[in-house]
Amino acid sequence: MNNSSPRRKITIIPILLLLLVYGFGFLREVKSLGINYGQLGDNLLPPEKVLQLLRAYKITKTRIYDTNPKILTAFANSGVELIVTVENQRLAALGGSDPQPAAQWVETQIRPFFPATNITGIAVGNEVITDGDTLLMGYLVPAMVNVRRALASLGFDRNIKVSSPHSLAVLGNSYPPSGGYFKPELAGMMQQFLKFLAETESPFWINAYPFFAYKDSPNKIPLDYVLFNPGAAGTVDPATNLRYDNMMYAQVDAVLVAMYRLGFNAVEVRVSETGWPSKGDPNEVGASPENARIFNGNLMRRQRMNQGTPLRPGLRLEVYVFALFNENQKPGPTSERNYGLFLPDGTLAYDVGLSSESAVPSSPSTPSAATISLTSSAPKAEHMEYQSFVHTSILFFLGCHVILTM
């Protein structure tokens, strides 16, 4: 039975055009995988030791959840790129009609450290829109505007991008990716938010956790699909004919389509958090050292391949792993305290295929799992660009064929 309709065809055409625009774009500069550096523990290494740890494992990007001056001081002249955070409780003060509090915040929290400390981003709040506080939500965009205005007054705005991470709960639908849209009650808010990002060329940060989806529906979602396992059956989006072999890429593309529906097709999406817990409560299905090892190991291998998502194959997806350490003072279920790649003393929580600078590769010509670091390399970047061109061309003409035969 033919269920096609003019509306369905109109929906598919702009998505294909979006594919064409971004598929032909060259890969951006190869960047390293980042990691989230939380501090909710009473037994964590001091910042100076943390920097040594990051350097040993060639981790060149990190994100913190405040503007801890000890960390900002320790990371000075290290070259490590750092995203800092305006805590949620500060938004009301920074998002008012008076721009002075935001100017004062930048003056005291950013100016003393930048540019010696390589601050590249400011996260204004974290998951504010889905926090449940509608009053706080109203301060988000004004706070972002005020913070950026303060940065611009000092000439810092070219180097420091301002955004705010969201959870996937901002979406009303995420499957299939072509059906992604923001919750109707958030559409007005997201319109303002995306307008700011587009005007300032800032990224949309999304906290994407396939673990949560699997935990809630382990009998419906294949484990291979959420763990990035090679050979996972995956799924094909019926509207675009794009194949997804892992859930995180599907989640990201659902966000892309949701933005496109609001008229924003040039904002880059970056994963500000993703990870897998090595331990959980009895009802947290899938939380185990083995699954955490597989998820993070496969994710790192993907990053080394400079991959983009099926909708944007030519744009390498930037990802920040959660988290650097297990944090024993985090509230919530057991999993919240067991996302770390490292134990508080700096030893690996499980074998994820990382190696420090002192490790000796098993072969000088063939990297093994033991030699994978958190830094991506780009020997295949040009080849990836050509592959992206060919891949997108095929998809575009395939999509045209689908439309013509409907």
Residue among 81, 127, 284, 318 flagged as catalytic: 127
CA separation, residue 78 to residues 38, 60, 118, 289, 358 (Å): 19, 9, 8, 32, 19
User: Which of 371, 368, 347, 350 lies closest to 359 in space, CA to CA?
Assistant: 371
| Dist. CA 177–CA 141, nearest whole Å | 26
Number of helical (H) and strand (E) elements in the chain, helices listed first: 12, 13
| Dist. CA 180–CA 192, nearest whole Å | 19
48 tagged catalytic = no
CA separation, residue 116 to residues 74, 305, 316 (Å): 10, 31, 28
127 tagged catalytic = yes
Contact 253, 265 (CB under 8 A): no
| Dist. CA 265–CA 257, nearest whole Å | 8
User: Which of 344, 292, 346, 351 lies closest to 322 in space, CA to CA?
Assistant: 292
User: Which of 82, 33, 48, 44 lies closest to 62 in space, CA to CA?
Assistant: 82
Residue among 81, 273, 318, 327 flagged as catalytic: 273
Residues marked as catalytic? 127, 273
